[in-house]
Amino acid sequence: MRPSYPHLHCEITRWIDDEPQPGIVEAVVVDATDRTWRFVEKVAIVDQTGDAGPTTSYPCPGAIRCEIVDSPSGPGPDAVLLVTTARPDGVEAVDGRTDFLVRASQVTQVAV
């Protein structure tokens, strides 16, 4: 049985290239401080529905598997989470960052 990982919601903003297969896209995440982080990643990593492609109308929703490291603000509707995208898929922003403070509403636990 595969372990279940939370998903950090992102927006796939554009198709970059067909190579390497299955293709490369740009995705963005806006963190809890309203900073925008860009990711350039294989489409299969950020497109959980299989809808993104070279002829897709962008932007479209996406998700990056992540791990919740901490909840520095505690529980509640305005909770902020520290997540890492380094696990399980080794995803990093274009500047190499893998740890992000995000709103709890940006993270979804997905059952497998």
Whether residue 1 is contained in a domain is answered as no
How far, in Å, CA of 65 to CA of 53, rounded?
Answer: 20
- Whether residue 71 is contained in a domain is answered as yes
Task: Give the pLDDT confidence score for residue 1 in this predicted structure.
Answer: 44
Q: What predicted TM-score, i.e. pTM, was given to this entire model?
A: 0.91
Q: What is the mean pLDDT of residues 12-40?
A: 96
Query: Domain total for the chain?
Result: 1
Selected residue with higher pLDDT from 75 and 105: 105
Whether 27 is in a domain gets the answer yes
- Smallest CA-to-CA distance from 42 within 20, 65, 57 is with 20
86 within a domain of the structure (yes/no)? yes
Query: How does pLDDT run across 47-57, given as a tens digit for each residue?
Result: 988 889 999 99
In a domain, 78, yes or no: yes
The whole-angstrom distance between residue 110's C-alpha and the CA centroid of its chain comes to 13
Assigned domain for 30 exists:
yes
Domain region containing 44 = 6-109
Instruction: Report the pLDDT averaged over residues 36-46.
Output: 97
Q: How many CB atoms lie within 10 A of CB 99?
A: 15
